[in-house]
């Protein structure tokens, strides 16, 4: 699923695309090097190993990760392994970064005094701007509410509201012309405009400041905000002297202090970047793999070995599945059980399905879904589809006795309220929602020699290939319906 090269109209975009193509061009950690032309080499890198030419050489790296039972994920700490797994297929996520584990590079750049606009810096700036926007909005709405209350309490008919009103306080009652009247004390003047009360609506005093990221137009002809007007030039010191001693001279807003680096050893004006040792900055970030990604890399591709922290040994593939399945209470079973409706297996079936079709699959919890589908990866474009997994039991009687059948993980996805929430969120970010119906096979469909005495599956006799071919996947594309926009 390769995208064509962009037009050469903008050299910066083309150079960035070529750099990303060179760095993230391999869709999987396995690389096939055929001895023929370069075009065949690029084509063969997308093919499975059994479809590659017989004379080609296969590069299969070996990476090591550690299973973490608390976060239910696999941690990869070796820098070489982190680079291979993320650059070749976008597997995992940096724990101190948004996506790619780039914390150490950003830290080195920060120590050297660099000004690179990393994604994390842009995100922090947006968060600060949005936080300030919420504060300004709350203050503006509070001010409007006070003004509305003052008008409604002191103006009853059109034209009766005066240009100024007084705050009246009653000290004691006095008799004026035979009637009680409060004594007027010191007043505070508040300016209130002449407003026709009969025309007031709830929107009259609704004041909202401009949101910092209001622009939602996309494309080549996207709306661009006008730059702010230029600030007046600062007053010179000579002009300030002529105007009098009380005149204040403002310093330019963008003025920065000049830092002079003294050379104490006489080797130059300052230390160069070559003298800085990058090894002084330790690597404090690791690549975190979802269990589905770890199982795909280990059992599917054979490039990842998972270490069990309890025994501090590499877990064999045969014994890896009981380590990754969803844990259940010890009151139900003292040891892990394997059932076809296990949430991990149901989720992996969808992950394996879309990965086999060439999509880059990433977790979609940010958009209230299970998986996000990228054409090539998050570096090249945004995700196109949001997948919601909806398990369907082949045998409804097994759902009643299953420890996973009555959980919200299944029931909530069948609710139209939850689906409407997903549609609302994803429509705002221009993503297509795909309902993925996964039919869970019945335990009775497996041979009797593959089942244990309690009716669950035996991990030593059930292979992943035999397990995957028993599931059925149906995809339904959903679209949000707007009655006001679809009348014509």
Pairing of strands 63-68, 73-76: antiparallel
Contact status, residue 386 vs residue 367, Cβ threshold 8 Å: yes
Q: Which two tokens stand for residue 195?
A: 């407003």
CA neighbor of 59 nearest in space, from 102, 17, 28: 28
First to last CA, the chain: 36
Q: Could you count the other beta carbons within 10 Å of the beta carbon of residue 191? A: 10
Catalytic residue ranges = 374, 382, 431
């Amino acid at each position: 699923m390769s995208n064509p090269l962009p037009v050469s109209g903008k050299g910066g975009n083309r150079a960035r695309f070529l750099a990303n193509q060179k760095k993230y061009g391999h869709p999987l950690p396995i690389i096939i090097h055929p001895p023929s032309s370069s075009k065949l080499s690029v084509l063969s890198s997308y093919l499975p190993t059994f479809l590659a030419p017989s004379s080609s050489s296969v590069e299969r790296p070996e990476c090591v990760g550690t299973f973490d039972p608390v976060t239910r994920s696999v941690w990869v700490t070796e820098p070489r392994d982190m680079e291979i797994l993320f650059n070749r297929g976008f597997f995992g996520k940096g724990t101190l970064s948004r996506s790619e584990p780039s914390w150490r590079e950003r830290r080195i750049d920060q120590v050297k005094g660099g000004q690179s606009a990393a994604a994390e810096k842009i995100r922090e700036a947006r968060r600060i701007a949005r936080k300030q926007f919420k504060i300004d909005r709350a203050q503006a709405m509070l001010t409007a509410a006070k003004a509305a209350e003052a008008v409604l309490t002191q103006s009853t008919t059109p034209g009766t509201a005066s240009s100024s009103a007084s705050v009246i306080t009653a000290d004691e009652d006095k008799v004026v012309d035979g009637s009680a009247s409060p004594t007027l004390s010191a007043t505070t003047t508040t300016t209130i405009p002449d407003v026709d009360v009969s025309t007031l609506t709830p929107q009259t005093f609704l004041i909202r400041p401009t949101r910092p990221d209001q622009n939602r137009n996309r494309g080549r002809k996207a709306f661009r905000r006008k730059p702010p007007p230029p600030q007046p030039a600062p007053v010179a010191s000579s002009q300030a002297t002529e105007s009098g001693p009380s005149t204040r001279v403002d310093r330019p807003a963008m003025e920065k202090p000049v830092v002079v680096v003294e050379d104490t050893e006489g080797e130059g004006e300052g230390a160069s970047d070559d003298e800085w040792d990058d090894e002084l900055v330790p690597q404090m970030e690791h690549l975190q793999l979802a269990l589905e990604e770890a199982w795909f890399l280990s059992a599917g591709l054979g490039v990842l070995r998972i270490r069990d922290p309890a025994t501090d040994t590499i877990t064999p593939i045969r014994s890896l599945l009981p380590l990754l399945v969803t844990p259940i209470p010890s009151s139900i079973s003292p040891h892990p059980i394997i059932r076809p409706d296990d949430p991990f297996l149901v989720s992996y079936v969808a992950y394996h399905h879309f990965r086999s079709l060439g999509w880059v699959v990433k977790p979609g919890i940010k958009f209230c879904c299970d998986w996000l589908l990228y054409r090539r990866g998050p570096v090249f474009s945004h995700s196109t589809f949001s997948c919601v997994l909806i398990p369907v039991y082949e045998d409804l009687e097994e759902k009643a006795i299953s420890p996973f059948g009555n959980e919200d993980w299944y029931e909530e996805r069948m609710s139209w309220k939850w689906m409407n929430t997903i549609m609302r969120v994803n429509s705002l970010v221009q993503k297509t929602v795909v309902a993925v119906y996964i039919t869970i096979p019945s335990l009775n469909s497996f041979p009797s020699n593959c089942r244990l005495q309690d009716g669950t599956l035996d991990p030593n006799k059930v292979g992943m290939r035999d397990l995957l071919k028993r599931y059925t996947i149906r995809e339904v594309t959903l679209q949000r319906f707007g009655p006001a926009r679809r009348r014509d």
